[in-house]
Structure 1
Amino acid sequence: MSLSADIEQPDDPGARGPSKRAVEIVVSLILIGLAAAVLYDSYGRGAGWNGGPESGFFPARVGWIFLAGSLFLLVQAFREPPAIFATWSQLLMVAKVFGPLALFVVLVEPLGIYVAAAIFTAVFMPIVGGARWHTILLTSVLVPLVCFFVFEIEFLVPLPKGPLEAMFGY
Protein backbone atom coordinates (compact mmCIF):
# COMPACT_ATOMS: atom_id res chain seq x y z
CA MET A 1 0.00 0.00 0.00
CA SER A 2 1.50 3.34 -0.98
CA LEU A 3 1.60 6.38 1.23
CA SER A 4 -0.13 8.49 -1.42
CA ALA A 5 -3.17 6.20 -1.30
CA ASP A 6 -3.87 7.45 2.24
CA ILE A 7 -3.92 11.11 1.21
CA GLU A 8 -6.80 12.71 -0.68
CA GLN A 9 -5.69 13.67 -4.16
CA PRO A 10 -6.60 17.16 -5.47
CA ASP A 11 -7.83 15.57 -8.73
CA ASP A 12 -10.44 13.54 -6.82
CA PRO A 13 -13.88 14.88 -7.84
CA GLY A 14 -15.13 14.56 -4.24
CA ALA A 15 -12.16 16.45 -2.75
CA ARG A 16 -12.80 19.81 -1.11
CA GLY A 17 -10.41 22.71 -0.72
CA PRO A 18 -9.48 26.12 -2.06
CA SER A 19 -9.54 26.45 -5.83
CA LYS A 20 -6.31 26.75 -7.76
CA ARG A 21 -7.67 29.86 -9.48
CA ALA A 22 -8.39 31.66 -6.20
CA VAL A 23 -4.94 30.84 -4.80
CA GLU A 24 -3.20 32.00 -7.97
CA ILE A 25 -5.22 35.23 -8.04
CA VAL A 26 -4.34 36.02 -4.41
CA VAL A 27 -0.63 35.27 -4.98
CA SER A 28 -0.62 37.37 -8.18
CA LEU A 29 -2.20 40.32 -6.35
CA ILE A 30 0.38 40.05 -3.56
CA LEU A 31 3.18 40.03 -6.14
CA ILE A 32 1.63 43.04 -7.91
CA GLY A 33 1.60 44.86 -4.56
CA LEU A 34 5.28 44.02 -3.99
CA ALA A 35 6.14 45.22 -7.50
CA ALA A 36 4.28 48.47 -6.84
CA ALA A 37 6.24 48.94 -3.60
CA VAL A 38 9.54 48.40 -5.45
CA LEU A 39 8.53 50.90 -8.14
CA TYR A 40 7.35 53.48 -5.59
CA ASP A 41 10.62 53.24 -3.68
CA SER A 42 12.74 53.26 -6.85
CA TYR A 43 11.13 56.39 -8.24
CA GLY A 44 11.33 58.01 -4.80
CA ARG A 45 15.11 57.51 -4.89
CA GLY A 46 15.41 58.64 -8.48
CA ALA A 47 15.04 56.15 -11.28
CA GLY A 48 16.29 58.28 -14.12
CA TRP A 49 19.56 58.77 -15.92
CA ASN A 50 21.42 61.92 -14.91
CA GLY A 51 24.91 61.58 -16.37
CA GLY A 52 24.63 57.94 -15.29
CA PRO A 53 22.10 55.75 -13.57
CA GLU A 54 20.50 57.17 -10.44
CA SER A 55 20.19 54.98 -7.37
CA GLY A 56 16.70 53.74 -8.26
CA PHE A 57 17.37 53.12 -11.97
CA PHE A 58 18.09 49.38 -11.87
CA PRO A 59 15.57 48.54 -9.13
CA ALA A 60 12.90 50.33 -11.18
CA ARG A 61 13.71 48.21 -14.23
CA VAL A 62 13.51 45.05 -12.13
CA GLY A 63 10.24 46.32 -10.62
CA TRP A 64 8.71 46.81 -14.08
CA ILE A 65 9.74 43.28 -15.12
CA PHE A 66 8.36 41.95 -11.83
CA LEU A 67 5.08 43.81 -12.39
CA ALA A 68 4.77 42.50 -15.95
CA GLY A 69 5.34 38.93 -14.79
CA SER A 70 2.82 39.32 -11.98
CA LEU A 71 0.19 40.72 -14.36
CA PHE A 72 0.84 37.81 -16.73
CA LEU A 73 0.27 35.38 -13.84
CA LEU A 74 -2.96 37.16 -12.95
CA VAL A 75 -4.28 36.86 -16.51
CA GLN A 76 -3.25 33.19 -16.63
CA ALA A 77 -5.06 32.55 -13.34
CA PHE A 78 -8.34 33.73 -14.84
CA ARG A 79 -7.80 31.43 -17.83
CA GLU A 80 -7.20 28.33 -15.66
CA PRO A 81 -9.85 25.61 -15.72
CA PRO A 82 -11.53 24.95 -12.36
CA ALA A 83 -9.40 22.72 -10.14
CA ILE A 84 -8.65 22.15 -6.47
CA PHE A 85 -5.33 23.63 -5.29
CA ALA A 86 -5.08 21.30 -2.31
CA THR A 87 -7.52 19.46 -0.11
CA TRP A 88 -8.24 20.73 3.38
CA SER A 89 -6.56 17.63 4.85
CA GLN A 90 -3.39 18.39 2.85
CA LEU A 91 -3.43 21.99 4.06
CA LEU A 92 -3.87 20.74 7.62
CA MET A 93 -0.71 18.64 7.20
CA VAL A 94 1.15 21.76 6.05
CA ALA A 95 -0.16 23.69 9.07
CA LYS A 96 1.05 20.91 11.37
CA VAL A 97 4.57 21.50 10.08
CA PHE A 98 4.34 25.29 9.79
CA GLY A 99 3.05 25.89 13.33
CA PRO A 100 6.00 24.34 15.21
CA LEU A 101 8.43 25.79 12.67
CA ALA A 102 7.07 29.32 13.23
CA LEU A 103 7.36 28.75 16.99
CA PHE A 104 10.99 27.71 16.51
CA VAL A 105 11.82 30.83 14.50
CA VAL A 106 10.21 33.09 17.11
CA LEU A 107 12.05 31.39 20.00
CA VAL A 108 15.57 31.44 18.50
CA GLU A 109 16.20 35.09 19.39
CA PRO A 110 15.14 35.09 23.06
CA LEU A 111 16.13 31.52 24.00
CA GLY A 112 18.95 30.64 21.61
CA ILE A 113 19.00 28.06 18.87
CA TYR A 114 19.63 25.05 21.10
CA VAL A 115 16.77 25.61 23.55
CA ALA A 116 14.49 26.57 20.65
CA ALA A 117 15.48 23.35 18.86
CA ALA A 118 14.67 21.31 21.96
CA ILE A 119 11.23 22.95 22.21
CA PHE A 120 10.67 22.53 18.46
CA THR A 121 11.50 18.83 18.65
CA ALA A 122 9.30 18.34 21.72
CA VAL A 123 6.34 20.00 19.97
CA PHE A 124 6.92 18.66 16.45
CA MET A 125 7.42 14.98 17.21
CA PRO A 126 4.05 14.29 18.85
CA ILE A 127 2.11 16.41 16.34
CA VAL A 128 3.58 14.95 13.17
CA GLY A 129 5.11 11.65 14.18
CA GLY A 130 3.04 10.60 17.16
CA ALA A 131 6.17 9.39 18.96
CA ARG A 132 6.22 8.05 22.51
CA TRP A 133 7.02 10.47 25.34
CA HIS A 134 10.39 8.90 26.24
CA THR A 135 11.53 9.07 22.60
CA ILE A 136 10.45 12.70 22.44
CA LEU A 137 12.24 13.54 25.68
CA LEU A 138 15.50 11.82 24.67
CA THR A 139 15.50 13.34 21.20
CA SER A 140 14.62 16.81 22.49
CA VAL A 141 17.55 16.75 24.90
CA LEU A 142 20.21 14.77 23.03
CA VAL A 143 19.99 16.33 19.57
CA PRO A 144 20.56 19.94 20.77
CA LEU A 145 23.37 18.73 23.07
CA VAL A 146 25.10 16.91 20.21
CA CYS A 147 24.63 19.93 17.95
CA PHE A 148 26.08 22.21 20.64
CA PHE A 149 29.11 19.95 21.00
CA VAL A 150 29.68 19.71 17.24
CA PHE A 151 29.16 23.36 16.34
CA GLU A 152 30.31 25.27 19.42
CA ILE A 153 33.11 23.06 20.73
CA GLU A 154 34.47 21.08 17.78
CA PHE A 155 33.95 23.45 14.83
CA LEU A 156 33.95 26.71 16.84
CA VAL A 157 30.94 28.00 14.91
CA PRO A 158 29.04 30.51 17.05
CA LEU A 159 25.28 30.08 16.77
CA PRO A 160 22.63 32.21 18.52
CA LYS A 161 22.69 31.56 22.25
CA GLY A 162 20.26 32.44 24.97
CA PRO A 163 20.20 32.70 28.76
CA LEU A 164 20.80 28.97 29.35
CA GLU A 165 24.10 28.99 27.49
CA ALA A 166 25.07 32.27 29.22
CA MET A 167 24.42 30.57 32.55
CA PHE A 168 27.04 27.94 31.60
CA GLY A 169 29.55 30.56 30.41
CA TYR A 170 29.02 30.38 26.63
Structure 2
Amino acid sequence: MSSPDETETTVRGLSRRPVEIATAIILIALAGVVLYDSYGRGAGWDGGPQNGFFPARVGWIFLAASLFILFQSFRSENTVFVTWEQLKQVTRVLGPLVLFVVLIQPLGLYVASSIFILVFMGVVATSRWWSIALTAILVPVICFWVFELQFRVPLPKGPLEAALGY
Protein backbone atom coordinates (compact mmCIF):
# COMPACT_ATOMS: atom_id res chain seq x y z
CA MET A 1 0.00 0.00 0.00
CA SER A 2 1.41 3.41 -0.91
CA SER A 3 1.44 6.45 1.33
CA PRO A 4 -0.15 9.76 0.31
CA ASP A 5 3.34 11.16 -0.35
CA GLU A 6 4.03 8.43 -2.89
CA THR A 7 0.71 8.81 -4.71
CA GLU A 8 1.06 11.21 -7.61
CA THR A 9 -1.97 13.42 -8.09
CA THR A 10 -2.31 15.54 -11.17
CA VAL A 11 -3.70 18.98 -10.47
CA ARG A 12 -4.83 20.77 -13.61
CA GLY A 13 -4.99 24.49 -13.95
CA LEU A 14 -3.26 27.63 -15.11
CA SER A 15 0.53 27.41 -14.84
CA ARG A 16 2.46 29.88 -12.76
CA ARG A 17 5.10 30.84 -15.36
CA PRO A 18 2.70 32.20 -18.05
CA VAL A 19 0.79 34.17 -15.40
CA GLU A 20 4.00 35.73 -14.07
CA ILE A 21 5.24 36.52 -17.58
CA ALA A 22 1.92 38.13 -18.56
CA THR A 23 1.84 40.12 -15.32
CA ALA A 24 5.41 41.31 -15.82
CA ILE A 25 4.69 42.37 -19.42
CA ILE A 26 1.60 44.32 -18.33
CA LEU A 27 3.58 46.02 -15.54
CA ILE A 28 6.44 46.85 -17.95
CA ALA A 29 3.89 48.44 -20.31
CA LEU A 30 2.42 50.47 -17.43
CA ALA A 31 5.91 51.59 -16.41
CA GLY A 32 6.49 52.65 -20.01
CA VAL A 33 3.31 54.73 -19.96
CA VAL A 34 4.38 56.40 -16.69
CA LEU A 35 7.85 57.17 -18.07
CA TYR A 36 6.48 58.45 -21.39
CA ASP A 37 4.04 60.76 -19.63
CA SER A 38 6.62 61.91 -17.08
CA TYR A 39 9.19 62.86 -19.68
CA GLY A 40 6.46 64.50 -21.75
CA ARG A 41 5.70 66.76 -18.78
CA GLY A 42 9.34 67.40 -18.05
CA ALA A 43 11.25 65.11 -15.74
CA GLY A 44 14.27 67.28 -15.15
CA TRP A 45 15.35 69.74 -12.52
CA ASP A 46 15.14 73.38 -13.60
CA GLY A 47 15.47 75.46 -10.45
CA GLY A 48 13.38 72.75 -8.82
CA PRO A 49 11.65 69.57 -9.83
CA GLN A 50 9.58 69.71 -12.99
CA ASN A 51 6.09 68.14 -13.11
CA GLY A 52 7.31 64.72 -14.18
CA PHE A 53 10.44 64.53 -11.99
CA PHE A 54 9.10 62.37 -9.16
CA PRO A 55 6.76 60.25 -11.33
CA ALA A 56 9.72 59.47 -13.61
CA ARG A 57 11.79 58.23 -10.66
CA VAL A 58 8.89 56.06 -9.51
CA GLY A 59 8.44 54.85 -13.09
CA TRP A 60 12.09 53.74 -13.29
CA ILE A 61 11.76 51.85 -9.99
CA PHE A 62 8.51 50.30 -11.23
CA LEU A 63 10.19 49.27 -14.49
CA ALA A 64 13.15 47.72 -12.63
CA ALA A 65 10.81 45.74 -10.36
CA SER A 66 8.78 44.58 -13.37
CA LEU A 67 11.90 43.44 -15.20
CA PHE A 68 12.96 41.57 -12.06
CA ILE A 69 9.56 39.82 -11.99
CA LEU A 70 10.01 38.86 -15.64
CA PHE A 71 13.53 37.54 -15.00
CA GLN A 72 12.39 35.56 -11.95
CA SER A 73 9.45 34.07 -13.83
CA PHE A 74 11.85 32.25 -16.16
CA ARG A 75 13.86 30.93 -13.22
CA SER A 76 10.95 29.75 -11.05
CA GLU A 77 9.48 26.29 -11.04
CA ASN A 78 6.46 26.00 -13.32
CA THR A 79 3.81 24.92 -10.83
CA VAL A 80 0.05 25.33 -10.93
CA PHE A 81 -0.87 28.92 -10.11
CA VAL A 82 -4.60 28.37 -9.90
CA THR A 83 -6.71 25.29 -10.55
CA TRP A 84 -9.54 25.44 -13.05
CA GLU A 85 -12.03 25.01 -10.20
CA GLN A 86 -10.54 27.98 -8.33
CA LEU A 87 -10.57 30.04 -11.53
CA LYS A 88 -14.24 29.16 -11.98
CA GLN A 89 -14.94 30.58 -8.50
CA VAL A 90 -13.06 33.79 -9.37
CA THR A 91 -15.14 34.13 -12.55
CA ARG A 92 -18.34 33.73 -10.54
CA VAL A 93 -17.29 36.78 -8.52
CA LEU A 94 -15.67 38.74 -11.36
CA GLY A 95 -18.65 38.45 -13.73
CA PRO A 96 -21.12 40.36 -11.53
CA LEU A 97 -18.40 42.88 -10.65
CA VAL A 98 -17.70 43.65 -14.32
CA LEU A 99 -21.46 43.97 -14.92
CA PHE A 100 -21.66 46.42 -11.99
CA VAL A 101 -18.86 48.63 -13.36
CA VAL A 102 -20.37 48.64 -16.86
CA LEU A 103 -23.83 49.60 -15.55
CA ILE A 104 -22.72 52.54 -13.36
CA GLN A 105 -22.50 54.99 -16.29
CA PRO A 106 -25.89 54.34 -17.93
CA LEU A 107 -27.95 53.50 -14.81
CA GLY A 108 -26.21 55.32 -11.98
CA LEU A 109 -24.47 53.91 -8.93
CA TYR A 110 -27.56 53.02 -6.92
CA VAL A 111 -29.44 51.08 -9.60
CA ALA A 112 -26.21 49.37 -10.66
CA SER A 113 -25.60 48.45 -7.02
CA SER A 114 -29.04 46.94 -6.75
CA ILE A 115 -28.50 44.85 -9.88
CA PHE A 116 -25.04 43.84 -8.63
CA ILE A 117 -26.47 42.65 -5.33
CA LEU A 118 -29.22 40.70 -7.10
CA VAL A 119 -26.82 38.99 -9.50
CA PHE A 120 -24.00 38.44 -7.00
CA MET A 121 -26.20 37.02 -4.28
CA GLY A 122 -28.04 34.95 -6.85
CA VAL A 123 -24.85 33.48 -8.31
CA VAL A 124 -22.56 33.20 -5.28
CA ALA A 125 -24.77 33.10 -2.22
CA THR A 126 -27.34 30.51 -1.31
CA SER A 127 -29.82 32.95 0.19
CA ARG A 128 -33.58 32.93 -0.12
CA TRP A 129 -35.06 35.03 -2.91
CA TRP A 130 -36.83 37.42 -0.54
CA SER A 131 -33.63 38.17 1.41
CA ILE A 132 -31.78 38.83 -1.85
CA ALA A 133 -34.54 41.19 -3.04
CA LEU A 134 -34.72 42.95 0.33
CA THR A 135 -30.95 43.44 0.42
CA ALA A 136 -30.89 44.65 -3.20
CA ILE A 137 -33.46 47.32 -2.33
CA LEU A 138 -32.42 48.37 1.18
CA VAL A 139 -28.65 48.68 0.72
CA PRO A 140 -28.79 51.18 -2.19
CA VAL A 141 -31.62 53.13 -0.51
CA ILE A 142 -29.63 53.41 2.73
CA CYS A 143 -26.49 54.37 0.81
CA PHE A 144 -28.46 57.03 -1.08
CA TRP A 145 -29.78 58.43 2.20
CA VAL A 146 -26.31 58.48 3.77
CA PHE A 147 -24.28 59.85 0.87
CA GLU A 148 -26.72 62.05 -1.04
CA LEU A 149 -28.95 63.38 1.73
CA GLN A 150 -26.81 63.35 4.88
CA PHE A 151 -23.26 63.93 3.61
CA ARG A 152 -24.26 65.62 0.35
CA VAL A 153 -21.68 63.64 -1.63
CA PRO A 154 -22.78 63.54 -5.26
CA LEU A 155 -22.36 60.06 -6.70
CA PRO A 156 -23.15 58.97 -10.29
CA LYS A 157 -26.89 59.03 -10.88
CA GLY A 158 -28.98 57.60 -13.68
CA PRO A 159 -32.48 57.93 -15.12
CA LEU A 160 -34.25 56.68 -11.97
CA GLU A 161 -32.72 59.37 -9.78
CA ALA A 162 -33.45 61.99 -12.47
CA ALA A 163 -37.09 60.88 -12.56
CA LEU A 164 -37.24 61.26 -8.77
CA GLY A 165 -35.81 64.79 -8.97
CA TYR A 166 -32.18 64.16 -7.97
| TM-score w.r.t. length of structure 2 | 0.83
**Structure 2 partner of 1:49:** 45
**Structure 2 partner of 1:146:** 142
Counterparts of 1:40 and 1:74, CA distance in 2: 21
Q: Percent identity among equivalent residues? A: 63
Which of 59, 62, 82 is equivalent to 1:63?
Answer: 59
Once the two structures are superposed, the pairs formed by residues 72-87 of structure 1 within 5 Å of their partners are 72-87=68-83
Measured after TM superposition, the shift of residue 154 of structure 1 is 4.0
Comparing 157-166 with 74-83, greater Cα deviation is found at 157-166
Counterparts of 1:160 and 1:105, CA distance in 2: 12
Measured after TM superposition, the shift of residue 78 of structure 1 is 1.2
Amino acid in structure 2 at the alignment position of 1:34: L
Counterparts of 2:57 and 2:105, CA distance in 1: 36
**Structure 2 partner of 1:162:** 158
Measured after TM superposition, the shift of residue 86 of structure 1 is 0.6
SS, match of residue 18 in structure 1: strand
Once the two structures are superposed, the pairs formed by residues 14-163 of structure 1 within 5 Å of their partners are 14-163=10-159
Counterparts of 1:29 and 1:79, CA distance in 2: 16
After superposition, the C-alpha distances for 1:8-66 in whole angstroms (9 at most, x for unaligned) are xxxx9422111111111111111111112222233333333344433333222222111
Measured after TM superposition, the shift of residue 131 of structure 1 is 3.0
SS, match of residue 68 in structure 2: helix
Counterparts of 1:152 and 1:61, CA distance in 2: 40
Counterparts of 1:86 and 1:111, CA distance in 2: 35
SS, match of residue 86 in structure 1: strand
Q: How many residues align?
A: 159
**Structure 1 partner of 2:5:** none
Consecutive unaligned residues of structure 2, counting only runs of 5 or more, are 1-7
Consecutive unaligned residues of structure 1, counting only runs of 5 or more, are 1-11
Counterparts of 1:55 and 1:104, CA distance in 2: 35
SS, match of residue 45 in structure 2: coil
Inter-CA distance 80–111: structure 2 relative to 1 (3 Å threshold): same
Runs of 4 or more consecutive aligned structure 1 residues displaced over 4 Å after TM superposition: none
